[in-house]
Amino acid sequence: MSTSKIVIIGAGTGGMCLAHGLRRAGFEVAVHERDRTRTGGLHGYRVGISPNGARALKACLDEDLFATFVATTGRDYEHLTMYTERFAELLAMGFDDLPRLGDAPEDQDYNVSRTTLRQVLFTGMEDVITFDRVFTGYEQHTDGTVTAFFADGSSDRGDLLVGADGASSRVRAQYLPHATHSDTGLVGLGGKLPYDTPQAAALPERVRSGLSMLFDRRGQFGILHAMRMPWEPGGAPREGIGSDDAAQLAAWPGLRYDNTTDYVSWGLSTSRRVLPADVLERRGTDLHDVAADLTRDWDPRWHDLLAASDPSAAMAISVRTSDPLPAWTPSSVTLIGDAVHTMTPGRGAGANTALRDARELRDRLVRMRDGELTRDEAVGSYEELMRRYSALAVKESLEFMHDDVDRRSRLGVLAQRSAMRAMNRVPAAKRRMARNLQKVRDSELV
Ligand SMILES: Cc1cc2nc3c(=O)[nH]c(=O)nc-3n(C[C@H](O)[C@H](O)[C@H](O)COP(=O)(O)OP(=O)(O)OC[C@H]3O[C@@H](n4cnc5c(N)ncnc54)[C@H](O)[C@@H]3O)c2cc1C
């Protein structure tokens, strides 16, 4: 291959990580993103970056930007707590109980605001990304190159087209039309409110400094994240974050585009069967009201939280999962991230798997650059490995979340709660569970 130009569709988590890694390795890279501007789109939720994700970022970003990523992450969680819907403790762990490979920054878990991660990944890439470019289709040529076409009439030709365009990928629709998704029957509702509100202050201390899950008797599942950013609301680095991180933040131009302040975010996973038919079209306080109605018998502090949430951050998503994907012949088009493996949020593995894809593909394209592999060998070797680890992540994520809302017996609920309480009393059982939780998030541990 003489030109080695890589065209990436989608400036999301996976696409941007890949773009950094390839540009550093000397490739010509062009990223096309449909959001109209750098701050467009709704990217407000929290993402847990696991060692899989952190190692990919370490491998692809330059040293200074990886340090910026670390400096812009939220305060580490202290607790992981599972509660009943009335905040009665079922199982409690420290984040220190999660198994780790080592102390290096890339072996840790991070609390990340997705808006912030997006801005970190845009840093220094102004000449690589074109915004307001909606990909519509591609054409593969007999000389091995490929052209991407866009809604504004423009096109871009390269040696490899990478579909990093998320769960509704148009690249996948054209390239692998047989790659289907299934509806899990679940819908996720979510929102957030500022950390310094009285409603957030009234939450149990463990909730305010950790990740909390609520399991109700109907089979609904709630989640609460406390996100505390390393800067003051005005953007000044916070006291106590460490002088290296403070210096990194002060020097980071991305903070101008990111106004994230401390927040508590909530999510509720429930069945579409018990929801209004138009729930996915609803917005704002309408969604808060739906969540409140479904959780009528939950703790009053949960209800106060919903009532005080920011209407503009309310969201409803249908939870989908990729169906098993048979192998295909590698070519000048490939896919990474949600575009090729959509999974439920059950294991917090979607973004981390997208990041791992970026790293694995970059590693093989570097070997192609060095003459060790042909393009199709590089792409084929990445795709073969990716199909294996993503199938595990999809399966484990689905197992954690399934629709049994209102289909549980009283006995089933009691059994689940007794099992959690029993495990809570046995440190070895808790450690086993922690290891299992980390399995799809840290492939080096398996
Ligand atoms: C509420 C919530 C919480 C989550 N929490 C976690 C978590 O804790 N841990 C975790 O690992 N994952 C989490 N995930 C999943 C994670 O966000 C996704 O798996 C991840 O963002 C996928 O990255 P990606 O790069 O494949 O796609 P995306 O980040 O979705 O990026 C796709 C990009 O492509 C662009 N695009 C789409 N179509 C086109 C087009 N036609 N032309 C041009 N551009 C286009 C989009 O605008 C977008 O910028 C969560 C998801 C949600 C919804």
Which residue's CA lies nearest to atom 19 of ligand 1? Answer: 350
CB atoms near residue 382 (< 10 Å): 21
Q: How far is the CA of 200 from the centre of ligand 1 (A)?
A: 27
Residue for token digits 């479904």? 294
Check residue 1 and give its pLDDT.
Answer: 46
DSSP assignment of 293-322 equals: HHTTTS-HHHHHHHHTS-GGG-EEEEEEEE
Question: Where would I find the beta strands (DSSP E) of 179-308?
Answer: 181-194, 210-215, 221-227, 263-271
Residue 237 is classified by DSSP as B
| pLDDT of 104 above 60 | yes
Residue from 8, 47, 135, 396 to probe ligand 1 pocket by mutation (most atoms less than 8 Å from CB):
47
Question: What is the band of 446 on the pLDDT scale with cuts at 50, 70, 90?
Answer: low
Question: What is the distance between the alpha carbons of residues 7 and 161, in angstroms, rounded to a whole number?
Answer: 5
Residue 135 sits in a domain whose CATH number is 3.50.50.60
Which residue's CA lies nearest to atom 21 of ligand 1? Answer: 351
Terminal-residue alpha carbon distance, the chain: 36
| pLDDT of 230 above 70 | yes
Check residue 207 and give its pLDDT.
Answer: 96
Check residue 341 and give its pLDDT.
Answer: 97
Atom of ligand 1 nearest to the CA of 339: 26
Question: What is the distance between the alpha carbons of residues 264 and 347, in angstroms, rounded to a whole number?
Answer: 20
Q: Is the pTM of this model over 0.85?
A: yes
For range 178-182, the mean pLDDT? 93
CA dihedral sign, ordered 277, 281, 286, 289: positive
For range 74-81, the mean pLDDT? 92
Check residue 121 and give its pLDDT.
Answer: 97
Q: Phi, psi at residue 317, to the nearest 5°?
A: -130, 145
Q: Is 329 helix (H, G, I), strand (E, B) or coil?
A: coil
Q: How far is the CA of 125 from the centre of ligand 1 (A)?
A: 19
The model's pLDDT over 198-222, given as tens digits with 9 standing for 90+, comes to 999 999 999 999 999 999 999 999 9
Q: How far is the CA of 105 from the centre of ligand 1 (A)?
A: 24
Judge if the beta carbon of residue 9 lies within 6 A of ligand 1: yes
Judge if the beta carbon of residue 338 lies within 6 A of ligand 1: yes
Q: How far is the CA of 72 from the centre of ligand 1 (A)?
A: 19
Q: Is 282 helix (H, G, I), strand (E, B) or coil?
A: coil
| pLDDT of 68 above 80 | yes
For range 301-319, the mean pLDDT? 96
Of 33-47, 167-181, 251-265, 398-412, highest mean pLDDT: 167-181
Question: What is the band of 3 on the pLDDT scale with cuts at 50, 70, 90?
Answer: low
Q: How far is the CA of 164 from the centre of ligand 1 (A)?
A: 9
Judge if the beta carbon of residue 282 lies within 6 A of ligand 1: no
For residues 180 and 192, the answer to whether their CB atoms sit within 8 Å is no
Check residue 235 and give its pLDDT.
Answer: 86
Better-predicted residue by pLDDT, 399 or 62: 62
Check residue 184 and give its pLDDT.
Answer: 95
From the list 146, 175, 165, 157, the residue with the least C-alpha distance to 30 is 157
From the list 265, 317, 314, the residue with the least C-alpha distance to 285 is 314
- What is the identity of the amino acid at 345? P
Q: In what order do the strands lie in the sheet with 146-150?
A: 135-140, 146-150, 155-158
Judge if the beta carbon of residue 360 lies within 6 A of ligand 1: no
Residue 323 is classified by DSSP as P
Q: How far is the CA of 8 from the centre of ligand 1 (A)?
A: 14
Better-predicted residue by pLDDT, 410 or 71: 71
Atom of ligand 1 nearest to the CA of 343: 19
Cα–Cα–Cα angle for 266, 12, 357, nearest 5°? 105
| Number of domains present in the structure of the chain | 1
Q: How far is the CA of 107 from the centre of ligand 1 (A)?
A: 23
Question: What is the band of 96 on the pLDDT scale with cuts at 50, 70, 90?
Answer: confident
Strands 129-130 and 135-140 come out as unpaired
The model's pLDDT over 9-43, given as tens digits with 9 standing for 90+, comes to 999 999 999 999 999 999 999 999 999 998 877 66
Structural domain for 143, as ranges = 5-445
From the list 380, 399, 404, the residue with the least C-alpha distance to 440 is 399
